[in-house]
Amino acid sequence: MLCPNLFIYLILTLILTAEAQFERDPNGYLTYCPCMGRFGNQADHFLGSLAFAKALNRTLILPPWVEYRKGEMRSRQVSFDTYFQVQPLLDYHRVILMSDFMSKLAEDVWPATERVSFCYMERKSLQQEKNDPDAPNCHAKDGNPFGPFWDTHNIDFVRSEFYGPLHFDVHHSTMATKWMNNYPADKWPVLAFTGAPASFPVQHENRELQKHLQWSRKYNVAAQEYIRNVLPRGAFIGLHLRNGIDWVRACEHIKDSQQLFASPQCLGYKNERGHLYSDLCMPSKEAIVRQLKRTIKNVRQTQPKNEVKSVFVASDANHMIAELTAALSRMDISVHKLPEDDPYLDLAILGQSNHFIGNCISSYSAFVKRERDAHDFPSYFWSFPKEKDRQQAKMHEEL
């Protein structure tokens, strides 16, 4: 039981911390619409935006996550803290939820008459009558998810600002200084970008920021309960399979690309570890079964006390439950998936698996890989390296 004085001290500390959070930051603020792609892409952009805000020494206004739900025309905006904790981010840099900023600070810091949208160059409107050659515009709210995103917090813009030729790489240049000189906080208290001020895929220098992106209590508890109550006791392997029709179409671009989506995570940012090939994007069912069996065999040989008892599968389409169950029937290993689709809970469970096999090109797999890297958990990619290269390397080792 806390003594009265200590209890009062803790209460006062919490009050002072809360008040400090809602004091105006003289260094200014930065926010953006996470308007490119689904969660995997948005997470890549978030890490880059967090690094960019720190480089400019501005508080990052945490935007909601943009979600697209089947049968709904407009995107949905889900508060940042629904899935992730805010406090761990403060260990790296100053942040504030967009809802808190708009309700507590916006009237003073960013009044409605002074809200400017930032874009590199004019963004054409889908409505041709809005494209005025004499008054170029970011059209920050034109289309979905742009309009629904800003409407969530009743944000309209009075004009546009084109920041080109400035860019967002603050690691290899004096770009941060140029931004601060061009847009000082006393004249530009809020930089509001039509898209994320970050590159895709995430820059190598920003990957380690994943350690500050920690699941909310709801998802941490749900993942732990699923692992404890559904999966058999013992080690489990997490799998991420991409095989939906959209992914099949995306993989058709392999032949024309040096890199695709998150492929630098296994091929290297300069292709120093290889080049794209079709199996890397869409491995066959047979290849998936062979690699899974090989991984289980390797774990059993190298970690006999940590025997694999189950496999957990996350997928955008076909979880291959029947195929994997049949393939592992003689190994006394069960195969599982969530009873109802929840991509965020899938991610949280995959992050806690003893071993993980993901898709090199998928930004969704990349999220899991970065989280596991922060804890030194082992991860692998489907069909990487190529089976032929793997066999040659094994022969070389034996010789």
- Non-local (6+) Cβ contacts of 76 within 8 A are 66, 67, 68, 69, 148
What does the pLDDT read at residue 395?
35
Which structural domain, as residue segments, surrounds residue 73?
Answer: 13-205
Residue 257 falls inside a structural domain = yes
Q: What is the CA radius of gyration of the chain?
A: 24
Give the alpha-carbon dihedral of 324, 294, 233, 239, to 10 degrees: -60
Check the CA dihedral 170-174-175-176 and report its sign. positive
Place of tokens 């899991």: 368
For residues 179 and 284, state if they share a domain. Answer: no
AA letter at 96: I
The CA distance from 399 to 384, in Å, is: 22
Number of domains in the chain: 2
In a domain, 57, yes or no: yes
In a domain, residue 6? The reply is no
What CATH number does the domain containing 35 carry?
3.40.50.11340
184 shares its domain with 278: no
User: pTM for this structure?
Assistant: 0.91
Residue 2 maps to a domain: no
Give the residue among 390, 150, 134, 362 at the shortest CA–CA distance from 260: 362
Distance of CA 65 to the CA centre of its chain: 10
Encode the chain (399 residues) as per-residue pLDDT tens digits: 556 666 665 565 555 555 556 899 999 999 999 999 999 999 999 999 999 999 999 999 999 999 999 889 999 999 999 999 999 999 999 999 999 999 999 999 999 999 999 999 998 887 766 777 768 999 999 999 999 999 999 999 999 999 999 999 999 999 999 999 999 999 999 999 999 999 999 999 999 999 999 999 999 999 999 999 999 999 999 999 999 999 999 999 999 999 999 999 999 999 999 999 999 999 999 999 999 999 999 999 999 888 999 999 999 999 999 999 999 999 999 999 999 999 999 999 999 999 999 999 999 999 999 999 999 999 999 999 987 666 555 534 432
* Euclidean distance between CA atoms 394 and 399, whole angstroms: 9
Tell me whether residue 211 is in a domain.
no
Residues 223, 199 share a domain: no
Same domain for 41 and 189? yes
In a domain, 210, yes or no: no
Same domain, 222 and 150: no
CB 364 within 8 A of CB 343: yes
Residue 127 maps to a domain: yes
Bridge partners (DSSP) of residue 215 are: 84
Cβ(197)–Cβ(271) below 8 Å: no
